[in-house]
Structure 1
Amino acid sequence: MKVTGRAAVAIVALVFAATQSWLTRFKRTKTDAKSLHIAIESNACAFLSRPPPAAPLRHRRLVRDPLSPEEVNGEAAALRQEQRRTAERLSSSGADPAQLRAFPKGSSDGACVNGADPDSKATSGTWAGMAEAAVVMVTFDRADYLGCALQDLLAVRARFPNAGELYPAFVSQDGDAAGVQAVVRRHLDRVRYLEHAPDRPIRAPSAREKVAYYRIAQHYKFLLKTLFDCFGFPRVIVVEDDMRFAPDFFAYFDALAPVLDEDSSLLCASAWNDNGMPGLVSEPTAVERSDFFPGLGWMTTRSVWRGLRGRWPAGYWDDWLRTPEVRQGRQCLRPEVARTSNFGRAGSSEGQYFDAYIAPIQRAAVEVNWGGVDLEYLVKDAYEARMQSKIAAGKVVESLDDALAALPEEAGAGGFIVAYEGQEEYSVLARRLKILPEFKGDAPRVAYAGIVMLRTPYGAPLLLVPRSRLAY
């Protein structure tokens, strides 16, 4: 094809303009790699939080880091240098931990990473009298997951007044995967870093068991010991590196903290509802008591921790917390509409239950004014009286299908009640509703005294109730 002189000039101009644009972007990338990576983390969140595919994926590098391996290692080395500087400051001057960012390595049974007395009852440093709770994100080696979850958590925290002082953020890593350390280094202006480094090898009791569950249990013991015993926080909120957060996540926990402090029959407050699928929940201000420890974004107090720390298990810490011997009749608070969602298909459990029961849980999209919500009904005796009234006012139906097909006006004041007896009958109902049918310890998931609270497709309350409770 013949190119005229005028066309040649136009082509040269276009090439020149494109080259200048590329050079500008290149220079910006070189001078603002942190901003670039954070933007990529935002895109990663959209990718990681997408609906589950038809076929499960194995975890590889789901989101490619824009930094080269050399740059990632350089960021990790910078974080480790910060840990060394912190150790020197702590040993030479007893520096205020609140002014430090990356703490030395520690272990579940070792000394405090800040050199503090673990039995001190005072909050450490300038956190004293100010911090409501430490919020800690638990991570291992999923750098792409961490980048997404951490950025989301910090964005939600920024919505809450004075959240940086009231809710100091930590990332606690098991091990020293460089990719994770590079992510932390880029956010070190807004988070603090803890590193769990066992002082002896952790092994599973048998070859059939995964050592990961034993490392996880010791990691949790380390971070809870560090934040409660060494730093002296009154409460700790534990989240994970595969979560996203509702806009009122911090306001929700802020509202529940006084209830948790004042009621010794409570073990924790959680942001998660195992049955929080669309169509089974609707009321964003509703909070319930549960005999089942939900996890997946939860808060507990220093007094609860001090009753647990001396008998913390070697492995399977969450199932241990659900046993009657450990719960001792205590319960957790949980929302009707979850305040966290989870995108962690890849992990130590290898996606068990993920596509069917975890990915469908939707976090709240609305921001509740929790200061205007009366939560006095959550106190133990008041809640039990309220539940008895609900059952007495409810309409018992012959089958679950009758309740699901009925209109809300056909329900009693307490909603529809479907009776069951034992785990086998409950499992039939649960499978029909597409919720997890299993019991843990002596309780179905989310149950209060065996009662599981849901909604019908038309929004009416639906209670699955043990037959023994219908004697009222």
Structure 2
Amino acid sequence: GSGHGLSAGARMKEAEPKEGEYYRPWDAKKVALVVMAYCDHETTHELAKTVDSLRGLGKAAMHDIFVSQEGADSRLNTYVVGLQSKGVLKHIVHDTVNPRGMHMRERTALHQHKAMEGIFNDPQGYTHAIFFEDSVELAPDTLDFFAAATPIMDKDPSVWCVSGSNELGYGEMDWEETKMMRTSHFSGIVWMARKELWEELKPAWPSSSWIEWMNEGKDGGASARDGRSCIIPEVSRVKRVGNAVYSAEEAKYEQYLSRVKLATAPVDHNMFGDLSYLIKQNYDNALAVQVKKARILGSTRSEVPFNSYGPFLIPYKGSDYAMFARKYHLPNEIVDYEGLTVIKLQSNLIYLVSEDSQWLLLRPERTKGSHPDRNLHGAHPHGPHDPHFGFQAGGPHH
């Protein structure tokens, strides 16, 4: 569309990386933005929140924006067709017969399938798509975050998606807006997939509970995820607003999501810098250095000594996690990277590590009955602390 007021030539020029920049422009016309619309909202208010937030991003006009509508709905139609007539977006209505007669878990799985199928089979030839739930607010640099993370996903086969939300990105944890992390957890609020991922997932796509299916295999079983990670920001680029709650579990989860801080940094696509620290080998090596340096606290029952410097490492067995989560007001659902969850409490970096994760193998003294709070500074074969890694050892995180 011509809504952005820039000629194609000017757009290309604007996107060219300058000397010393890490940012590589993506072909915005090959990246579809897809807002998922459901039929049974009382008003179009929830959908409008996401659409307005998306249209408010300067670079959104360079992309094709779609509203994917799960089935016929006159109220939604009126709203979306109005926007369509202004040339703002494209409208796909799926032929789902009476979605209201299905359970929400089935509806979302079917709708996600139809949306991905529709977008990735589009003659426009989209290579990537970002899917947006309704009722979300977006940070000003949301599209820049995704653009910056895309080359890592395209290059590193152990990364299967990029997600805009850090579900432990609470304001009080003081994360950095320019840093990203790897996670084994999949959150479907706002996320990006490559066409190749859809081709791979399509034959086994579930008829219900697709987000749970994407998260299966955390305990080492075979799964769609197959040991891969998602790239997320330390500070969320998306925040749930309003009441798109479909189940009791979600209602419980909502109280945690409401504490998530939304990034406020002005748009600067170069602020993320060199993201090679996210490549699996680099990331794991840097994390191994931190795990080796961390002070071990005996268990999740140990009090975190806030008056002394971390990082601290707290091993946990299954149900211990929930107890720790209650104590420090964290969600029960484990949001981890291969068995390791990173949180910050009062500026102290804390690694919660599952007893059966590979990370504890780096601390053999833990199984030999040595004093649990002893701080070991062993030399590490991978060399010094990686300056690009979001965490500094041996002192508070600023």
Please indicate, yes or no, whether the TM-score normalized by the shorter chain is above 0.5.
Answer: yes
1:354 and 1:170 map into 2 onto residues whose CA distance is 28
Say whether residues 1:470 and 2:360 are aligned partners: yes
1:39-118 pair list within 5 angstroms: none
C-alpha contact (below 8 Å) 2:71/2:98 kept by paired residues: no
In structure 2, relative to structure 1, the CA distance for the partners of 1:305 and 1:346 (3 Å cut) is: closer
Say whether residues 1:244 and 2:137 are aligned partners: yes
1:294 corresponds to which of 183, 187, 202: 187
Q: Alpha-carbon deviations, 1:398-422, whole Å to 9, x = none? A: 4667436235xx22xxx222221x2
Tell me which residue corresponds to 1:435: 330
Q: Which amino acid aligns with 2:361?
A: A
- Give the greater-gyration-radius structure (CA): 1
Q: Does 1 or 2 have the higher relative contact order (CA < 8 Å, sep 6+)?
A: 2
1:337 corresponds to which of 235, 248, 251: 235
1:180 corresponds to which of 60, 76, 84: 76
Tell me which residue corresponds to 1:197: 95
C-alpha contact (below 8 Å) 1:203/1:214 kept by paired residues: no
Tell me which residue corresponds to 1:274: 167
Tell me which residue corresponds to 1:258: 151
How far the C-alpha of 1:340 sits from its partner, in A, is: 0.3
In structure 2, relative to structure 1, the CA distance for the partners of 1:177 and 1:371 (3 Å cut) is: same
In structure 2, relative to structure 1, the CA distance for the partners of 1:130 and 1:451 (3 Å cut) is: closer
C-alpha contact (below 8 Å) 2:50/2:132 kept by paired residues: no
Tell me which residue corresponds to 2:10: none
2:70 and 2:170 map into 1 onto residues whose CA distance is 31
CA RMSD of aligned residues (A): 2.4
Q: Alpha-carbon deviations, 1:59-99, whole Å to 9, x = none? A: xxxxxxxxxxxxxxxxxxxxxxxxxxxxxxxxxxxxxxx89
Say whether residues 1:152 and 2:42 are aligned partners: no
How far the C-alpha of 1:130 sits from its partner, in A, is: 5.2
C-alpha contact (below 8 Å) 1:404/1:456 kept by paired residues: no
1:300 and 1:270 map into 2 onto residues whose CA distance is 9
1:297 and 1:404 map into 2 onto residues whose CA distance is 36
Tell me which residue corresponds to 2:61: 164
Q: Alpha-carbon deviations, 1:413-445, whole Å to 9, x = none? A: xx222221x22111111111212113xxxxx22
Work out the number of aligned pairs and report it.
Answer: 323
Q: Which amino acid aligns with 1:135?
A: L
How far the C-alpha of 1:281 sits from its partner, in A, is: 4.0
C-alpha contact (below 8 Å) 1:149/1:244 kept by paired residues: yes
1:149 and 1:230 map into 2 onto residues whose CA distance is 23
Tell me which residue corresponds to 2:277: 377
Tell me which residue corresponds to 1:94: none
C-alpha contact (below 8 Å) 2:339/2:353 kept by paired residues: yes
Tell me which residue corresponds to 2:113: 221
In the alignment, structure 2 segments of 5+ residues that lack a partner are: 3-25, 218-222, 363-398
2:253 and 2:337 map into 1 onto residues whose CA distance is 24
Tell me which residue corresponds to 1:65: none
Q: Which amino acid aligns with 1:216?
A: T
Q: Which amino acid aligns with 1:302?
A: K
In structure 2, relative to structure 1, the CA distance for the partners of 1:213 and 1:404 (3 Å cut) is: farther
How far the C-alpha of 1:233 sits from its partner, in A, is: 0.7
C-alpha contact (below 8 Å) 2:46/2:244 kept by paired residues: no
Runs of 4 or more consecutive aligned structure 1 residues displaced over 6 Å after TM superposition: 201-204
How far the C-alpha of 1:330 sits from its partner, in A, is: 1.1
1:281-360 pair list within 5 angstroms: 281-324=174-217, 325-349=223-247, 352-360=251-259
1:303 and 1:134 map into 2 onto residues whose CA distance is 15
Q: Alpha-carbon deviations, 1:317-360, whole Å to 9, x = none? A: 11111112211111111111111000242443265224422222
Q: Alpha-carbon deviations, 1:223-277, whole Å to 9, x = none? A: 1011112242110100011100001100000001111111111111001112122
In structure 2, relative to structure 1, the CA distance for the partners of 1:396 and 1:354 (3 Å cut) is: closer
C-alpha contact (below 8 Å) 1:170/1:194 kept by paired residues: yes
Q: Alpha-carbon deviations, 1:92-118, whole Å to 9, x = none? A: xxxxxx89xxxxxxxxxxxxxxxxxxx
In structure 2, relative to structure 1, the CA distance for the partners of 1:287 and 1:368 (3 Å cut) is: farther
In structure 2, relative to structure 1, the CA distance for the partners of 1:467 and 1:406 (3 Å cut) is: farther
In structure 2, relative to structure 1, the CA distance for the partners of 1:175 and 1:202 (3 Å cut) is: closer
C-alpha contact (below 8 Å) 2:37/2:133 kept by paired residues: yes
Say whether residues 1:234 and 2:127 are aligned partners: yes
Say whether residues 1:417 and 2:327 are aligned partners: no
2:241 and 2:162 map into 1 onto residues whose CA distance is 21
1:219 and 1:164 map into 2 onto residues whose CA distance is 25
In structure 2, relative to structure 1, the CA distance for the partners of 1:390 and 1:181 (3 Å cut) is: same
C-alpha contact (below 8 Å) 2:306/2:348 kept by paired residues: no
